[in-house]
């Protein structure tokens, strides 16, 4: 029997049951006694015994098709490494479950009584599936998806501010015309980045022709093939471009070089994320460095606060980025041999 079922029988919230099980404050004495009596009646391990057991955090890595989660090399793994390290320092074990598209089935088969809290990787989570998370009866937090209009704790990338920084940098180099290497897969992060891109172009008086929006598959090979298809049809590019992420930028660069584009002389390109390949690409990629370890650390900190006080208000934290200038960008008109 899980926490949600106990809560239903006791006529209280799952959060109240979790507080009692973990011997936390926030539940009145009479309610606490009532919950304990239900736990004992249904042979649920008593709080004092549970409190002695090892503490566990569950990490669910949700994958819809893997294009973003699996292809964005090093991004997710860096976040998970940070969470695992901080869990160890806080006396928690971290368990990991991979849910490949069948999220409802995954959530229904978890024994939540084994965990004090849950972190959910929501990068590829579609809005139609947000309500499925309401089934989670323990404190949880979503990373890499702001979950608009859904009440939960989140730690996410400050997409709009970061895109504005990236486009502003290209404008500062004297570029007047810009292309957009846009993902042909729609996730919440990319929706926010596209909105910010158009806003930044208007604010900075950059000329953006819709013909210079190139829809590219967000994998290295996919972006390469997508850009190559445009170039085969005779596409001409302006002096600079912003890419939705580094994977798209690197794939596009490979295709452009095959069509004799010199980067950055013919076109300056800036990415987003600063994955490992960005520094060793040829040319090395100018990009926005998102602090992956910080995302993991803040996520666990917020989750542990929720475990301590499940009745607290939800928090949505936005993490900024730092510009990393490498060799894929230069001043407009700069002569590079």
C-alpha to C-alpha distance for 249 and 255, rounded to whole angstroms: 10
Q: How far apart are CA 18 and CA 26, in angstroms?
A: 10
Strand bridging mode 287-289 / 322-324:
antiparallel
Q: Quote the pLDDT of residue 51.
A: 46
Distance of alpha carbon 107 from its chain centroid, rounded? Answer: 20
Strand order in the sheet with 92-100: 92-100, 55-63, 117-121, 140-143, 153-157, 316-319
The pLDDT assigned to 165 comes to 98
**In DSSP terms, which residues pair with 61 in a beta bridge?**
98, 121
SS (H, E, C) the chain: CCHHHHHHHHCCCHHHHHHHHCCCCCCCHHHHHHHHHHHHHCCCCCHHHHCCCCEEEEEEEEECCCCCCCCCCCHHHHHHHHHHHHHHHCCEEEEEEEEECCHHHHHHCCCHHHCCEEEEECCCCCHHHHHHHHHCCCCEEEECCCCCCCCCEEEEECHHHHHHHHHHHHHHCCCCEEEEEEECCCCHHHHHHHHHHHHHHHHHCCECCHHHEEEECCCHHHHHHHHHHHHHCCCCCCCEEEECCHHHHHHHHHHHHHCCCCCCCCCEEECCECCHHHHHCCCCCEEEECCHHHHHHHHHHHHHHHHHCCCCCCCEEEECCEEECCCCCCCCCCCCC
Res 50: pLDDT: 44
CA dihedral 22, 98, 140, 187 (to 10 degrees): 180
Q: Give, for all 337 residues of the chain, the pLDDT tens digit.
A: 778 888 889 999 988 888 888 777 778 888 988 988 888 888 876 544 444 457 999 999 999 987 888 877 678 899 999 999 999 999 999 999 999 979 999 999 999 999 999 999 999 999 999 999 998 999 999 999 999 999 999 999 999 999 999 999 999 999 999 999 999 999 999 999 999 999 999 999 999 999 999 999 999 999 999 999 999 999 999 999 999 999 999 999 999 999 999 999 999 999 999 999 999 999 999 999 999 999 999 999 999 999 998 888 899 999 999 999 999 999 998 876 6
| pLDDT in the model for residue 190 | 97
pTM: 0.83
Enumerate long-range contacts of 149-155, CB under 8 Å, 24 or more apart. 151/314, 152/314, 153/302, 153/303, 153/306, 153/314, 153/315, 153/316, 154/122, 154/314, 154/315, 154/316, 154/317, 155/295, 155/298, 155/299, 155/302, 155/316, 155/317, 155/319
């Amino acid at each position: 029997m899980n926490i949600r079922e106990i809560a239903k029988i006791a006529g209280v919230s799952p959060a109240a049951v979790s507080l009692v099980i973990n011997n936390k404050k926030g539940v009145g004495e009479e309610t606490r006694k009532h919950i304990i009596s239900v736990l004992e009646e249904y042979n649920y391990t008593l709080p004092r015994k549970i409190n002695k057991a090892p503490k566990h955090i569950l990490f669910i890595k949700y994958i819809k098709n893997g294009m973003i989660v699996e292809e964005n090399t090093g991004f997710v793994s860096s976040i998970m490494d940070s969470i695992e390290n901080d869990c160890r320092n806080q006396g928690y074990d971290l368990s990991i479950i991979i849910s490949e598209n069948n999220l409802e089935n995954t959530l229904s088969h978890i024994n939540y009584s084994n965990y004090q809290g849950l972190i959910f990787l929501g990068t590829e989570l579609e809005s139609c599936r947000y309500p499925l998370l309401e089934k989670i009866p323990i404190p949880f937090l979503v990373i890499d998806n702001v979950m608009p209009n859904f009440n939960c704790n989140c730690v996410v990338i400050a997409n709009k501010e970061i895109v504005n920084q990236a486009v502003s940098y290209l404008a500062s180099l004297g570029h007047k015309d810009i292309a957009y290497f846009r993902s042909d897969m729609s996730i919440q992060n990319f929706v926010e980045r596209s909105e910010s891109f158009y806003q930044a172009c208007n604010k900075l008086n950059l000329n953006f022709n819709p013909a210079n929006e190139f829809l590219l598959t967000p994998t290295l090979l996919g972006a390469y093939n997508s850009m190559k298809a445009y170039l085969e049809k005779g596409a001409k590019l302006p002096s600079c471009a912003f890419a939705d992420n580094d994977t798209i930028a690197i794939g596009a660069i490979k295709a452009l070089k095959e069509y004799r584009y010199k980067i950055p002389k013919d076109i300056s390109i800036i990415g987003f994320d600063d994955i490992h390949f960005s520094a060793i690409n040829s040319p090395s990629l100018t990009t926005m460095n998102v602090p992956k370890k910080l995302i993991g650390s803040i996520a666990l900190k917020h989750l542990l606060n929720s475990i301590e006080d499940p009745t607290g208000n939800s928090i949505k934290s936005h993490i900024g980025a730092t510009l990393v200038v490498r060799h894929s960008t230069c001043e407009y008109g700069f002569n590079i041999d």
